[in-house]
């Protein structure tokens, strides 16, 4: 799994965050006066790198070459603020392209696609790969925030994800057979669990109460519920600043209902011990 770190600008792979910190430190060292010992250390590191020996500068060059889109750095670039700024910009662009590729093509991140965010600079709604999403700050209760985040990242206990992979005594199960543990009529995915399943009384009561509350929080959602597909409506609710805290509580409650009952495993996938 990709190790990531939440920052002010959104989620960032930790190794990239470390690389950006190293480049920031490098820029600081370049701007120091020649009398500072730290700058002497930098010059030594660059000399070692230019001679092909291992050094702190060489480590940065290795990390840059290992990016999904490799970046080359020359010894002279280590001593130039404009060059360091240009390389830093390239690193951020490269990691955004890589993250967006994962979001677009990994099955489990389907709810993260096509999220439009307001961009202050252009005053328009645009696709933004990394941003501290509103639900991370607008959902005050940690358990609710975690439940919603897990639902969106495909890191939940619903069968659409849990039956995707082989485990010790069970083979992976095709998506169309990862059926709901309650109704066994549809794939147990995020939309089915939150908006479709009619087979579990507690679930139906939770949904009725939730829809009543969220239509009160954000009235335009009521008419959108009538015209949008349930998939689109779930995405729409996530984008609602007024309703997202209630949605997060609902996600937490729904996942708890599913957690309380053993999942349905279709016949024919158990491995003989």
Residue (178 or 249) nearer to Zn ion, CB: 178
5 to 44, contacts with Zn ion by CB under 5 A? none
Choose the stretch contacting Zn ion; rule: CB under 5 A; options: 109-117, 163-171, 174-182, 221-229.
174-182
Q: Confirm if 4 and 12 have CB atoms less than 8 A apart.
A: yes
Write down the least CB distance from residue 184 to Zn ion, Å. Answer: 7
Measuring CA to CA, which residue among 257, 266, 113 is closest to residue 197? 257
Q: Confirm if 32 and 38 have CB atoms less than 8 A apart.
A: yes
Choose the stretch contacting Zn ion; rule: CB under 5 A; options: 65-73, 118-126, 181-189, 239-247.
181-189
3-class secondary-structure state, position 157: coil
Counting contacts by CB under 5 A, is residue 180 touching Zn ion? yes
The number of residues that bind Zn ion (CB under 5 A) is 5
Among 43, 79, 92, 183, interactor with Zn ion by CB under 5 A: 183
Residue (90 or 162) nearer to Zn ion, CB: 162
Residue (60 or 173) nearer to Zn ion, CB: 173
Binding mask 190-229 for Zn ion (x = CB under 5 A): -------x-x------------------------------
Residue (91 or 180) nearer to Zn ion, CB: 180
Residue (104 or 185) nearer to Zn ion, CB: 185
Give 70: exposed, middle or buried? Use CB within 10 Å, 0-12, 13-18, 19+.
exposed
Choose the stretch contacting Zn ion; rule: CB under 5 A; options: 27-35, 83-91, 178-186, 221-229.
178-186
Read out DSSP for 3-59? -EEEETTEEEEHHHHHHHHHHHHHHHHHHS-TT-HHHHHHHHHHHHHHTT---HHHH
Separation between Cα atoms, residue 128 and residue 155, nearest integer Å: 21
Q: Confirm if 14 and 3 have CB atoms less than 8 A apart.
A: yes
CA 88 vs CA 25, 27, 92, 94, 121: distances in Å: 12, 10, 6, 10, 21
For residue 187 the two structure tokens come to: 């794939």
Write down the least CB distance from residue 192 to Zn ion, Å. Answer: 6
Residues that bind Zn ion (CB under 5 A): 180, 182-183, 197, 199
């Amino acid at each position: 799994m990709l190790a990531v770190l939440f920052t002010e600008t959104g989620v960032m792979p930790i190794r990239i965050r470390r690389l950006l910190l190293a480049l920031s430190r490098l820029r600081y060292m370049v701007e120091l006066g020649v009398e500072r010992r730290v700058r002497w250390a930098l010059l030594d590191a660059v000399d070692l790198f230019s001679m092909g020996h291992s050094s702190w500068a060489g480590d940065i060059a290795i990390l840059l070459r290992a990016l999904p889109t490799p970046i080359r750095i020359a010894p002279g670039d280590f001593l130039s603020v404009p060059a360091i700024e240009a390389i830093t910009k390239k690193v951020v662009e490269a990691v955004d392209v890589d993250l967006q590729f994962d979001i677009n093509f990994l099955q489990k991140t389907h709810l993260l696609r096509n999220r439009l965010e307001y961009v202050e600079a252009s005053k328009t709604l645009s696709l933004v790969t990394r941003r501290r999403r509103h639900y991370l700050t607008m959902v005050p209760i940690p358990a609710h925030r975690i439940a919603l985040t897990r639902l969106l990242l495909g890191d939940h206990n619903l069968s659409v994800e849990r039956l995707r992979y082989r485990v010790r005594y069970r083979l992976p199960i095709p998506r169309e057979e990862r059926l709901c543990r309650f109704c066994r009529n549809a794939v147990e995915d995020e939309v089915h669990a939150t908006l479709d399943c009619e087979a579990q009384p507690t679930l139906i009561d939770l949904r009725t109460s939730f829809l009543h509350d969220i239509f009160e929080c954000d009235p335009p959602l009521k008419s959108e519920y009538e015209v949008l597909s349930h998939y689109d409506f779930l995405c729409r609710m996530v984008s609602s600043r007024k309703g997202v805290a209630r949605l997060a509580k609902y996600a937490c409650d729904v996942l708890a209902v599913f957690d309380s009952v053993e999942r349905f495993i279709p016949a024919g996938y158990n491995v003989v011990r």
